[in-house]
């Protein structure tokens, strides 16, 4: 069955790196008979400035009804200082489709890129699951006496039993299915006694359903230290929205930088959204120097999820090969262009796949 993929290149380097990801998908379709159909949408700053439209009305239902996956490059443009269009599109899809799992694999593909001393690929290989629909990012709050010396800002941290339970269950289920032994739940319940106290009590219940999994709890500050001191101790980390946002950027650096970090926004049984962890990086946009590897690895994660795990693995293997051979863009110390690296990886992925391997 053909998988339909909605592609939103977005803004800035999002457009350039997505071009490499779609070129790979189109080439896989043409030359390796990968059953995918790619449909592009021009949602982003340009459309917003031209037409005042960010996420068109009816878009969510259309995505749900007609697509198997959504691929996003990056959103953000200095001409829209409020970033309103980015919030409408990204958060609109995340919240609107209730994509409550943010999956961020942290995998070092080439040891020389790790900023830690004497670490090899086996030392940095874990997955962060970040709750994606709650926490302080829901936008509940307000400002009292704005612009005065007595200004007061309130930002609520929303945590629900349902929301906490489903992300914890997802993380434990993932560990069980992948044969991973260790799950670490992290919060700041020593200071946030109500909101994160709920994480503690739900975690206490959920972990008992998975006796074969070694589960433990770390406060987020300890987790940050431990991720740097000994990243090899983790298989699966699960945490709340804001804390997950922060530690997944720490994770991105452990794997060699933000230009190498893919992510997925999931809700089992629904259309999922795949995006690079990096933003639109306006200062390097249009120069053909953005690193396309995060976008290609994101495409791999998406294909894995769509049932083509052999291709996902192959993309990862070829990206690792490119890193080993220093076929990289300037952010990783190389001299190659976005299109140069994208083309190099595309050709090698295609060479290694026979048409029959895809099906």
61: helix, strand or coil? helix
Whether residue 137 lies in the annotated active site: yes
> Each residue of 199-217: b (16+ CB within 10 Å) or e?
beebbeebbeebeebebeb
Closer of 62 and 246 to ligand ATP (Cβ): 246
Q: Out of 137, 170, 174, 203, pick the active-site residue.
A: 137
List 188, 203, 235, 331, catalytic entry: 188
Instruction: Give the residue with the Cβ less far from ligand ATP, 13 or 185.
Output: 13
Considering beta carbons, is residue 195 or 334 the nearer one to ligand ATP? 334
Residue 80 has what DSSP assignment? Answer: S
Least distance (Å) between residue 196 CB and ligand ATP: 25
Identity of the residue, 49 or 191, whose beta carbon is nearer to ligand ATP in the bound complex: 49
Shortest CB 330 distance to ligand ATP, Å: 7
Give the DSSP letter string of 150-190: T-EEEE--B--HHHHHHHHHHHHHHHHHHT--EEEEEE-TT
Contact 317/324 with Cβ under 8 angstroms? no
Q: Does residue 188 have an active-site annotation?
A: yes
Task: Tell me which residues touch ligand ATP (CB under 6 A).
Answer: 13, 17, 76, 258-259, 278-281, 283-284, 290-291, 294, 329, 331
Those residues with Cβ within 8 angstroms of residue 263's Cβ, 6 or more apart along the chain or in another chain: 102, 103, 104, 248, 274, 275, 276, 277, 298, 301
Provide, rounded to whole angstroms, the least separation between the CB of residue 341 and ligand ATP: 10
Q: How far is the CB of 120 from ligand ATP (least distance, A)?
A: 24
Q: Which is nearer to ligand ATP, 283 or 354 (CB)?
A: 283
Q: Judge whether 47 counts as a catalytic residue.
A: no
Closest separation in Å from C-beta 256 to ligand ATP: 12
> Which residue from 203, 301, 303, 215 is spatially nearest to 261, judged by alpha carbons?
301
Q: Which of 98, 221, 230, 326 is catalytic?
A: 221
Question: Looking at 11, 157, 235, 245, which residue is catalytic?
Answer: 245
Residue with nearest beta carbon to ligand ATP: 279
Smallest separation (angstroms) from ligand ATP to the CB of 150 = 31
| 162 classed as catalytic | no
11 is annotated as an active-site residue: no
Q: How far is residue 28's CA from residue 355's CA, in Å, rounded to a whole number? A: 9
The pairing of beta strand 141-144 with beta strand 152-155: antiparallel
Query: What is the spatial distance between Cα 46 and Cα 85, in angstroms, rounded to a whole number?
Result: 10
Task: Please state, in angstroms and as integers, the Cα–Cα distance from residue 141 to each residue in 153, 158, 274, following that order.
Answer: 8, 11, 29
**279 contact partners, CB below 8 Å, separation of at least 6:** 12, 74, 75, 76
For ligand ATP, the closer CB: 25 or 86: 86
Residues marked active site are found at 137, 188, 221, 245, 249
């Amino acid at each position: 069955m053909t998988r339909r993929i909605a592609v939103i290149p977005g803004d800035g380097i999002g457009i350039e790196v997505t071009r490499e990801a779609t070129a790979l998908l189109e080439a896989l379709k043409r030359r390796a008979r990968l059953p995918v159909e790619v449909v592009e949408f021009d949602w982003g700053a340009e459309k917003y400035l031209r037409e005042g439209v960010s996420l068109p009305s009816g878009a969510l239902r259309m995505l749900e009804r007609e697509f198997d996956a959504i691929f996003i490059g990056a959103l953000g443009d200095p001409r829209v200082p409020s970033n309103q269009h980015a919030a409408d599109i990204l958060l609109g899809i995340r919240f609107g489709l209730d994509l409550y799992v943010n999956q961020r694999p942290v995998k070092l593909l080439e040891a020389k890129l790790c900023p830690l001393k004497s670490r090899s690929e086996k030392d940095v290989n874990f997955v962060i699951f970040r709750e994606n629909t709650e926490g302080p990012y829901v936008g509940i709050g307000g400002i009292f006496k704005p612009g005065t010396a007595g200004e007061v800002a309130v930002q609520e941290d929303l945590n629900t039993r349902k929301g906490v339970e489903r992300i914890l269950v997802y993380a434990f289920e993932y560990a069980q299915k992948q044969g991973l032994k260790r799950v670490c739940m992290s919060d700041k319940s020593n200071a946030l006694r109500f909101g994160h106290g709920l994480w503690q009590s739900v975690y206490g219940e959920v972990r008992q359903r998975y006796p074969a999994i070694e589960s433990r709890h770390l406060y987020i500050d300890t987790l940050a230290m431990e991720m740097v001191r000994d990243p090899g101790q983790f298989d699966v980390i699960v945490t709340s929205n804001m804390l997950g946002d922060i530690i997944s950027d720490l994770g991105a650096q452990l794997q060699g930088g933000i230009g190498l970090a893919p992510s997925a926004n999931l809700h089992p049984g629904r259309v999922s959204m795949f995006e690079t962890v990096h933003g639109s990086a306006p200062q390097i946009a249009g120069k053909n120097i953005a690193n396309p590897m995060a976008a290609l690895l994101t495409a791999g994660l998406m294909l894995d999820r769509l049932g083509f795990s052999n291709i996902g693995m192959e993309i990862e293997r070829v990206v690792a090969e490119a890193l080993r051979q220093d076929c990289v863009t300037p952010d990783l110390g190389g001299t190659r262009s976005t299109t140069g690296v994208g083309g190099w990886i595309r050709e090698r992925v295609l060479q290694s796949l026979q048409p029959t391997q895809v099906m």
